[in-house]
Amino acid sequence: MAKVTFLGNKVTISGKLPKVGSAAPDFSLPDKDLQDLGLSDFAGKKRLLNIVPSLDTPTCATSTRRFNESFAGREDAVALVISADLPFAQGRFCAAEGLKNVVTLSLMRSKKFAKKYGVLIKNGPLEGLTARAVVVIDEKGRVTYTQLVPEIADEPDYDAALKALG
């Protein structure tokens, strides 16, 4: 398993991110309107998964704002922000911040996504949340880029993720 820390303290996660070149595991998660969405709902588009513990933290909020800016005017791709926050809180966050270029999805009904993608935190103060990660999936459903951020409090490599998105 990969090494991940939270504020310098080691945490254990559930597995590994999907391998580059592999088919991305599908999932079903509720959006801000409680509608279940998955990868297949965005078939034919490139997809960037911004996986964060909670939008109620500065780093998660920053990465969501940053990807929102990067996706302005993009018709070929979608940014999915996946967190443990309730859909209502995700909706309020996006409305308050004026974010219209990201789709938020919640882990409120199940941790299956976090387990499939190998990001479920299994111990420590953030147990049950996700580690910070970015996964880029092409329009054919293949993983083209992954980053498991080694320190949960750090931001992801935006440039590398957006370059992989094309």
pLDDT tens-digit readout, 87-99:
999 999 999 999 9
Regarding beta strands 102-106 and 77-83, do their DSSP bridges make them parallel or antiparallel, or are they unpaired? parallel
In this prediction, residue 73 carries a pLDDT of 94
* Domain-embedded: residue 25: no
Q: Does residue 154 lie within any of the structural domains?
A: yes
- In the set 60, 80, 81, 82, the catalytic residue is 60
Domain assignment present for residue 37? The answer is no
CB under 8 Å to 126, separation ≥6 — which residues?
6, 11, 53, 152
Angstrom distance (rounded) from CA 164 to CA 143: 10
The mean per-residue pLDDT over the stretch 57-67 comes to 97
Domain with 104, as residue range(s), is 4-16+44-165
Give mean pLDDT, residues 70-85: 97
The yes-or-no answer on residue 60 being catalytic is yes
Is the CB of residue 38 less than 8 Å from the CB of residue 166? no
Q: How far apart are CA 31 and CA 158, in angstroms?
A: 23
pLDDT at position 1 is: 57
User: Can you give the pLDDT at residue 2?
Assistant: 72
Range 21-50 average pLDDT:
97
- Rounded Cα distance between 20 and 146, Å, is 7
User: What token pair was written down for 66?
Assistant: 């940053």
38 lies in some domain: no
Question: What's the CATH number where 71 sits?
Answer: 3.40.30.10
* Residues 101-142 pLDDT 10s: 999 999 999 999 999 999 999 999 999 999 999 999 999 999
Within a domain: 55: yes
Query: Per the structure, how many domains does the chain have?
Result: 1
